[in-house]
Amino acid sequence: MKQHSMEPAVTAGLSIFEKACGYCGARFRVLVSHVPDHDSPEEYACPECGKRYQTEAALEPEVHLLRPRADGKDDRYQETMF
C-alpha cells in the first residue's frame, strides 16, 4: 500500500512569486530555481531598500522590481541586533 506524504513533492523547475517589502512597500517578483535534494536557504533583497529575505532554492533567486517603494524615502534598510 502506498503512503501519502503531507508535504508536496519537490520537482526540478522554477517557482515565481510576488512580494511586497515589509519595510519600504516596494513590490517585486522573485524567480526561484528548484532542484530536488539541492535546495538550501538562499537570500534575496528588496531592490529598493536592500531588506533581506530568505527562501529555499537551488541557486540565488532572481529579483525584478514591479513597483517602486511607496514610503517616499530613499534610505536603505538596516538590520538591528535586537
pLDDT at 82: 63
Residue 6 lies in a domain: no
- Which H helix or E strand runs over 18? strand 13-20
Residue 22 lies in a domain: yes
The pLDDT of 4-20, averaged and rounded, is 69
Number of domains within the chain: 1
With 60 as the cut, is the pLDDT of residue 11 above it?
Answer: no
pLDDT at 10: 45
- Which pairs with CB-CB distance under 8 Å and at least 24 residues apart come from 15-20? 18/66, 19/53
Residue 25 lies in a domain: yes
Residue 23 lies in a domain: yes
- Interatomic CA distance for residues 41 and 64, integer angstroms: 19
With 50 as the cut, is the pLDDT of residue 54 above it?
Answer: yes
Residue 4 lies in a domain: no
Residue 57: domain span? 13-67
With 80 as the cut, is the pLDDT of residue 6 above it?
Answer: no
Residue 58 lies in a domain: yes
